[in-house]
Amino acid sequence: MRKSKFVRRAGSAVAVGAMVLTGIVASASSASAVGSSACTDNFKNTKVWITDSANFRTGPGKSYTSKGLVHKGDQNFLAYCDRGNWVYGKVLKGAHKGKKGWISWDVIGWPMNPPGHIPGR
């Protein structure tokens, strides 16, 4: 049984479209995570505490994907650097222990400083 020219072309167009769409989706997901290379200021690795439960994100902003919540606790985040109002570091305790990501300055308590205060600024 022979397929019509239209059916063959439509099938090819769908296959090509699926490959293109898959490539776009794959490159968008891998580009969505932003590491320490996005930092504008580096500082000595400092253990800080989370003053209120907060989303732990893939990049410095609310538009980035949440990896989950980091809960309020005593010195449970190791801060490496920042970009704007976001701090990049590694979770030291809890469900996300060992994972790196971004947390808002608003929920970071620095040793000997009030929450949200940026040391040396």
Q: Please provide the average confidence, as pLDDT, over all residues in the chain.
A: 74
Provide the pLDDT for residue 110: 79
CATH code for the part of the protein at 36-109: 2.30.30
Q: Is the pLDDT of residue 29 over 80?
A: no
Q: Pick from 113, 93, 116, 94: which is nearest to 103 by CA? A: 116
pLDDT confidence tier of residue 12, bands split at 50, 70 and 90: very low
Domain ranges of the chain: 1-31, 36-109
All residues at 6 or more sequence positions from 101 whose CB lies less than 8 Å from its CB, including other chains: 56, 57, 58, 67, 88, 89, 91
pLDDT grade for 102, boundaries at 50, 70 and 90: very high
| pTM (two decimals) | 0.65
The residue that leads in pLDDT, 19 or 111, is: 111
Contact residues for 89 (Cβ-Cβ < 8 A; gap 6+): 45, 48, 77, 78, 79, 80, 81, 100, 101, 103
**Residue written as tokens 């606790």?**
73
